[in-house]
């Protein structure tokens, strides 16, 4: 008999106890007290951390904005090949800007955010890691699995942190979902948006679906045993709409649909277990739990009256801010990142299995 379910208390990513960080690629496992302290603006060093940003496009701009206003951080500079992007950063944040990222690295940095097009992630990130500088690289961490493995191996060899920007992990609704105690048997994900022109250099599987893949893999925690997938291009040369059906060794099945050619936006995940159904809206940061009341329904009554709906408490904050704060805290404390390079590699391996299933049909 499963113990009675109770809603978790709302809190913003409080410190977690003694997680085991698997450093198999670097040597023996080491036990740390894992203290992400997300949203706490607390650093483990009295000196400010000098952080740089490589890439000042739509998302890179927000990395710079958040670092610029973060306690315990000095935004040391931003690099971008676009003169317009550099001018905007210099005007809005009054920090040094560079056309060549190598000049930024020479400025003396503790850590860097790499927020460039996916095809450039590996080359830039490897250069930063080889310089002995900690890295947060946006998702997907690289264009290929081989590049991702090289990044993970280099971070281990150089003894620096590599965090991957799977920002939905820092969504308050996802935190509440993970704490709900549900045992997923079927997972359904929808991530739909109109075509913006950004991210068209890669498939929608690597652009959008990869967010949900990260959450699904974290939630199921078992091996993937079967992949069925289909996808089609609409506006770009890559898949703009894709659907994947994944079966795991636990018996759980996940159905993921992603589109960047939709008339409306949607970011939702629904999870079914034997005793509950949970609907999570990423955008609204809302989690609703549907459960059947114990006992038979009254004779002649409405069966749906036997369903209770509970809204889980969610601590709402800007996920990207929490992600960057977690990264800076890891740099300051030398604790493992909340989303490791190994996590990003595993997600990319599954994403490429989906792409191979799609493209193997053509």
24 and 59 together in one domain: yes
Question: Average pLDDT, stretch 76-104?
Answer: 98
289 and 181 together in one domain: yes
Residue pLDDT, tens place only, 221-258: 999 999 999 999 999 999 999 999 999 999 999 999 99
73 and 134 together in one domain: yes
Residue 313's domain is classified under what CATH number?
3.30.360.10
Percent of the chain with pLDDT over 90: 79
pLDDT over 60 at 42, yes or no: no
161 and 238 together in one domain: no
75 and 41 together in one domain: yes
User: What is the pLDDT at residue 298?
Assistant: 73
- Band (pLDDT 50/70/90 cuts) for residue 200 is confident
Residue 34's domain is classified under what CATH number?
3.40.50.720
User: What is the pLDDT at residue 196?
Assistant: 84
234 and 128 together in one domain: no
Residue pLDDT, tens place only, 123-141: 999 999 999 999 999 999 9
First to last CA, the chain: 48
268 and 175 together in one domain: yes
pLDDT over 90 at 24, yes or no: no
Is residue 99 a part of any domain in this protein?
yes
Is residue 6 a part of any domain in this protein?
no
Range of the domain at 280: 171-317+350-359
User: What is the pLDDT at residue 299?
Assistant: 79
165 and 208 together in one domain: no
Is residue 163 a part of any domain in this protein?
yes
Is residue 9 a part of any domain in this protein?
no
308 and 335 together in one domain: no
- Give me the number of domains the chain comprises: 2
83 and 101 together in one domain: yes
177 and 268 together in one domain: yes
282 and 334 together in one domain: no
- Band (pLDDT 50/70/90 cuts) for residue 46 is low
Is residue 67 a part of any domain in this protein?
yes
């Amino acid at each position: 008999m499963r113990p009675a379910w109770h809603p978790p208390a709302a809190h913003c990513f409080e410190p977690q106890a003694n997680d085991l960080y698997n450093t198999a690629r670097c040597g023996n496992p080491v036990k740390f007290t894992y203290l992400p302290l997300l949203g706490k603006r607390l650093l483990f060093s009295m000196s400010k951390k000098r952080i740089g940003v490589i890439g000042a496009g739509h998302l890179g701009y927000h990395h710079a904005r958040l670092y610029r206003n973060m306690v315990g951080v000095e935004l040391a500079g931003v690099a971008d090949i676009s003169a317009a992007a550099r001018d905007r950063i210099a005007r809005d944040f009054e920090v040094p800007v560079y056309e060549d990222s190598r000049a930024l690295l020479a400025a003396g940095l503790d850590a860097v955010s790499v927020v460039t097009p996916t095809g450039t992630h590996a080359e830039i990130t490897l250069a930063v890691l080889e310089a002995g500088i900690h890295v947060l690289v946006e998702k997907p961490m690289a264009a290929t699995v081989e590049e991702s493995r090289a990044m993970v191996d280099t971070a281990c060899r150089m003894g620096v942190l590599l965090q991957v920007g799977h920002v939905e992990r820092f969504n308050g609704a996802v935190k509440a979902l993970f704490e709900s105690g549900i045992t997923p048997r079927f997972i359904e994900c929808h991530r739909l948006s109109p075509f913006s022109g950004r991210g068209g250099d890669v498939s929608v599987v690597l652009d959008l679906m990869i967010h949900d893949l990260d959450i699904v893999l974290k939630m199921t925690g078992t091996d993937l045993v079967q992949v069925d997938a289909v996808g089609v291009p609409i506006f770009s040369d890559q898949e703009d709409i894709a659907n994947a059906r994944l079966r795991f060794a636990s018996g759980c099945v996940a159905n993921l649909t992603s589109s960047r050619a939709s008339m409306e936006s949607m970011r939702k995940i629904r999870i079914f277990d034997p005793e509950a159904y949970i609907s999570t809206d990423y955008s609204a940061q809302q989690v609703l739990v549907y459960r059947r009341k114990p006992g038979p329904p009254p004779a002649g009554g409405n069966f749906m009256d036997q369903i209770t709906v509970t809204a889980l408490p969610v601590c709402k904050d800007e996920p990207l801010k929490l992600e960057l704060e977690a990264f800076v805290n890891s740099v300051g404390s030398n604790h493992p990142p909340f989303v490791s390079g190994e996590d990003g590699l595993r997600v990319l391996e599954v994403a490429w299995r989906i792409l191979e299933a799609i493209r193997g049909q053509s």
